[in-house]
Every structure is written in C-alpha cells, then in structure tokens.
Amino acid sequence: MKTFEEKWTAWLDGQLSGRELSEFEGSLPDKAAAEAEKTGARKLRQLLKDELGVRTLTNEDLFSHQLRQRIAQESGGPSRVSGGRRMESSTWWTIPRLLWTGSVSLAVFLVCTVLVMHDKNPSEGSQYLTQILNARVDPVVSPNATVSIFEVKQDRVTVLWTEGLQSLPADYAAK
C-alpha cells in the first residue's frame, strides 16, 4: 500500500488512474486547492525544464572545453569554464582566517588565565616561599663555605643548604 506522499506524487505526475484515482481524489479535503497546486507544480516543472536544461555539447565544443581545461591545469592558472566564469581555488588558511584563529586563541588564553589567577589571593604568600632563618660561616672550618637554612611553614620542612663546606660542624648535627 502506498503512503499519502507516494500517492500525491503519482497524482501530480498523472500516474494514477481508475479506482485508485477516484479514491485519492475523494480523500482530499479541498479538491480545488489541490488542483490549483497541481497546476502550479506542472508550470514549475515546465519552467525548470526550459530554463535549467543541460546543454549538450557538440564534438567541437567538447574538444574545446577539454583543451581549455588541460591548458589551465598545465599553466597553473585558473581554468575557464563555459559561460566565461572563472573557477577560483582557495586554501583554507587564508590571511583573514589566520587572523581570526589567532584572535580567538588569544582570547581563550586570556580567559583561562583570568580564571586561574582569579582563584589566588594576591595577599597570600606563595606556597614555595621560604624564609632564610640564619646563615653563618665558620671561617676556621672553610673560608669559602656558606650555610643557609630554609623553612617552609605549611609543610613543616627545614632544608639545610651548604656550599663549599669541607666538613659539617658539630653544632649542625641532626637532633
């Protein structure tokens, strides 16, 4: 059994006949409006056939068309198609698209940076900030030695940094 759309198309094309035609026309709610639409569809079909018909090329035209395409391909220039229109080749990465992509990328970067930096309170010190507690050098042990002690309060870590020290003095022993 055909759907309504299939019957409608067959009716517009004039392919329904006999009992099927009378049943379909009987099922239409407004036959006058349907007939007007059928007439309009036939006029449109004829107009499209007349105006958009494909022009068949003669042998001379086909040869000339193929020759123009081959010359355009070998010379690397834009090819001319029938009717004098030029086919333009374009790459995806044109200058406006590059500028647009760069601007959008920069905007996304700035938004992400603002969102990440928004969470930090500028009055707080960094978690990596340490305090130098003392630095003393015993010139007897090593005249070029430096000893620095760093403390991180959040992690409760103390780091002893020694440079140029030959031996560690006894008062720096771990307790």
Residue type, 47: L
Per-residue pLDDT tens over the stretch 36-50: 998 998 898 888 888
What does DSSP assign to residue 86?
Answer: B
pLDDT at 101: 93
Per-residue pLDDT tens over the stretch 52-83: 877 676 677 777 878 888 888 888 755 444 44
Q: Name residues whose C-beta falls within 8 Å of residue 172's C-beta, 6 or more positions apart in sequence.
A: 147, 160
pLDDT at 9: 86
Q: How far apart are CA 120 and CA 144, in angstroms?
A: 41
pLDDT at 121: 62
Three-state DSSP at 161 gives strand
- Asked if 161 contacts 142 with a C-beta cutoff of 8 angstroms, the reply is no
Dihedral sign for Cα atoms in the order 112, 118, 120, 124 = positive
Mean pLDDT of 28-36: 88
Residue type, 106: L
pLDDT at 105: 96
Q: 72: buried, middle or exposed (CB in 10 Å: 19+, 13-18, 0-12)?
A: middle
Q: How far apart are CA 10 and CA 1, in angstroms?
A: 13
Q: How far apart are CA 63 and CA 82, in angstroms?
A: 12
pLDDT at 103: 95
Per-residue pLDDT tens over the stretch 100-155: 999 999 999 999 988 887 766 655 555 655 555 555 666 666 667 776 767 777 77
Q: How far apart are CA 38 and CA 32, in angstroms?
A: 10
